[in-house]
Structure 1
Amino acid sequence: KTERTQLDGTGNVKGTGEFKQWDVQAIYRAVGYRCAAVAGLPFDEDTDTVPHRAGRVLADGEPLPGVYVTGWVKRGPVGLIGHTKGDANETVACLLADRRTLTRPAHPDPDAVLEFLLAAGISFTTWDGWYRLDAHERALGEPEGRERVKVVDRVDMLRASVGG
């Protein structure tokens, strides 16, 4: 259900009381568009973007090895999913082109990431956990005749992914 709005003369909008009901399977909420700086990376406060060349993050005009950017923090809050997808393709192409020159991990063991996350007390899920979350969301939607009800809270997602 949406409400028609109108400008109020101050740059804000107000509801008109005119509503429309929509038959939909899912709703996605995207509020805001401002990107935040990441500690240690260059950031342009005027454009809310990270300086880059084709997705390679730049510091003092030179690429930072192994540091890439995509999405609105790369191009600014413009365009739709298709535009952002094209940007992602450009960035991934650079990453793949650079892969032989990138620093090798100190601990190439595939379990090193899991061990790091566990040691740091960082909650995460597994691929099987993602399947459990997917099944949980579908089960939530079924009584309402919807494909799914999206779980958006991180804690709730993690709980569902471990079967809790």
Structure 2
Amino acid sequence: MLALEGTTPLALRSAALVLAGESAVITAETDGLALLAASVGPGADRHVPLGAREVVVPFAAAADHGAAERRSFRILLGPHNGSTRATMFVGLVRPGKASLHYHLYDEIVWTPSGPGRFHLADGGEELRAGSSFRLRPRQPHVVENTGTGVLELLGVFTPAGSPSAAYLAPDLA
């Protein structure tokens, strides 16, 4: 349950947008509440247009967007629903790996489950439940799903935009 200007139920796998200057109380109605909070400072770019604010966005209500190769994503929070400085998304990676690529934004990714592997030009690491990593703008990388099901990643990046804005880096492969 989210208490922010009233009470709003939080379904499993929901995102909540609490803006600067607001305070909120989140109460677990069942055991096993997992909460991941991301704070974006005032120095983050906010050049994007602001859509009508949604306080709570359930995963099931977020549209599924295709991305390159073996990936798709659902945008939970972004400019379209009131988050001007950052985008929060769930990335869905099918078994295998995509090409080496990079983004123009600063990104932090958390892995709710695994298995997978995160590759950088100079090495990599295994991804298991609870793993996280940071990508700097223009840092070439690959996320590989080493399992048989869909690997989910929860990402937050700034400045706000689209998770599909990726640039292939064939010269770095």
> Scaled by the length of structure 1, what TM-score is found?
0.22
- Structure number with greater CO (CA < 8 Å, separation at least 6) is 2
Greater radius of gyration (CA): 1
Structure with a larger share of its residues in helix: 1
| Structure with the bigger percentage of strand | 2
